[in-house]
Chains A and B, each alone.
Chain A
């Protein structure tokens, strides 16, 4: 109880001063406050914002841990010091050596992401005089999962500062943002430092510094190989289990599905958005397969490589599943109405695959598609609500007539 009462005393001491929100934040982060709400409506519910955020974080932890092992695994595999692991429980995957490399590379990203993001949240809370909001908890966890392992830390810091200020605080903070802050951060990195965010060198630790030397190693992603119409060296099991190069947390489809089930079971994530995103991606994949079958696009086209990918395979390569489960479902930036969620998700999947195939400069389009649909989500909701109003008006007319 020592720390709690100390924090409580500090809170009382600084009440009404500028620094109060900072102490309150530490207090409520660790403990339940002593007092209750003073006025207004009292709602009794077990899940507040903090609980919701923590649920999402819990759903992401397996991806993060897997990402650490995978970072080391890809590094050692590319160096040729270990054999390829056979399947998810392969003996050369879950090793201490892999984890050490992973922790060494991934933990700093997590620390920088949370450190910079929370400092900015604290500064804004103190300036604006409101409580520190929990909004950054999920963003801070998502960011390390969607960047390449070798990303320099200062770039991440700059991007996080940009994403939190421009993506969120200028709109009024947590709950008011139009764009998903984590994706804003990724988009900033992508356009600002493209050499660190795409290509065949960034996905495996050590590849960048070895480029051009006799020890050069390559870590082309599956999407990259397809885009250049090269052979893909990974089998479907590897893709599904995630033993492939890619951003840190998005490779293991198995763990993402577990995370998705967890989110759906706890009713934190919307199953409508997840399902419709997948349907949208499948629909676009089927259209492309149809175009190939009809012989409109032949092997001479630069789109042939990605267009000829079997439609279902789009789900296990790239980050479409990760985006669908953790990004598209963000309750603040997604559509709010049920019908709107179907449209919103479907278009995300549809546009993701379209960008993936048509724009070889951006081998992965999921983050662009989600940002685009974030912008349109309020419009979709507006028309869904208006449609509902119209329908009811008609019913009213029939009744009165």
Chain B
């Protein structure tokens, strides 16, 4: 670990577990509920946020000393919006089907609380390198939860993973479906995403009692 000091490593690893943006800070819930019905969408969303937050944090950190504090929110929004448009156009160009599936939610990365939260809380007060690490760490923490939720929702809800029928064919009654198994339609509805996130929070806090607030 010559590249990263102990403090820098903490910047990346903390948001993955004990300071996770979704399960501990409870930010960015809306997109976690909306797009996690499929694993593929979750992964693309995670990568998009990783890019936006990583680059955005660096940009904000670089210009942090010249932004007048009165209009800093507008400046931050402009930066996020520019980055989100890049992501959106890339998706439309190279993964059109997926971009249609994610629909407005790519655009809504702008309103993802995690991004504005990290700009405000970290990038405005730290150098570019540390801001970059912080952005990557938080986006990864967000992505991990999204992928876990997406994995369970797609597996139990549609019986597929990344679109591959891992449990057999429900119409031809092969694999698990031959025994009378059926997909759980509830998993595809948003309330179940909330419940799955809740279960992750439950597991995490019962493993690490220090995280329980009064």
Contact = CB atoms under 8 A, between A and B. Distances in A.
B179 to A, nearest CB: 9
A166 B198 CA distance: 10
Contacts of B189: 191
A43 B189 CA distance: 47
Given A191-B186, A194-B185, 9 more contacts: A152-B180, A155-B182, A170-B202, A188-B186, A191-B185, A192-B185, A193-B182, A193-B184, A193-B185
A154 interface: yes
What 3 pairs across the A-B complex have the smallest Cβ distances? Answer: A192-B186, A191-B186, A192-B184
Interface in A138-165: 152, 154-155, 158
A152 B181 CA distance: 9
A377 to B, nearest CB: 20
B195 interface: yes
Interface residues of B, number: 11
Contact of A166 (B180, B184, B195): B195
Interface of A: 152, 154-155, 158, 166, 170, 188, 191-196
Nearest to A195: B182
Contacts of B186: 188, 191-192
Contacts of A193: 182, 184-185
B176 to A, nearest CB: 11
Interface in B161-212: 180-182, 184-187, 189, 195, 198, 202
A220 B195 CA distance: 34
Q: Is the interface of B mostly helix, strand, loop or mixed?
A: helix
A192 B192 CA distance: 10
Contacts of A196: 182
A192 B180 contact: no
A165 to B, nearest CB: 9
Nearest to B186: A192
A76 B202 CA distance: 48
Nearest to A158: B184
B55 to A, nearest CB: 39
B44 to A, nearest CB: 27
Contacts of A155: 182
A2 B195 CA distance: 47
A368 B185 CA distance: 17
Nearest to B187: A192
Nearest to A192: B186
Contacts of B202: 170
A201 to B, nearest CB: 14
Contacts of B198: 170
Contacts of A166: 195
B96 to A, nearest CB: 32
Interface centre among A158, A192, A193, A196 (most CB of B within 10 A): A192
A195 B185 CA distance: 10
A191 B185 CA distance: 6
Nearest to B181: A154
B193 to A, nearest CB: 13
A22 B75 CA distance: 61
A195 B186 CA distance: 12
12 contacts: A155-B182, A158-B184, A166-B195, A191-B186, A191-B189, A192-B185, A192-B186, A192-B187, A193-B182, A194-B185, A195-B182, A196-B182
Nearest to B198: A170
B164 to A, nearest CB: 22
A195 B182 CA distance: 10
B43 to A, nearest CB: 25
Contacts of A191: 185-186, 189
Contacts of A158: 184
A353 B125 CA distance: 58
Interface centre among B180, B186, B198, B202 (most CB of A within 10 A): B186
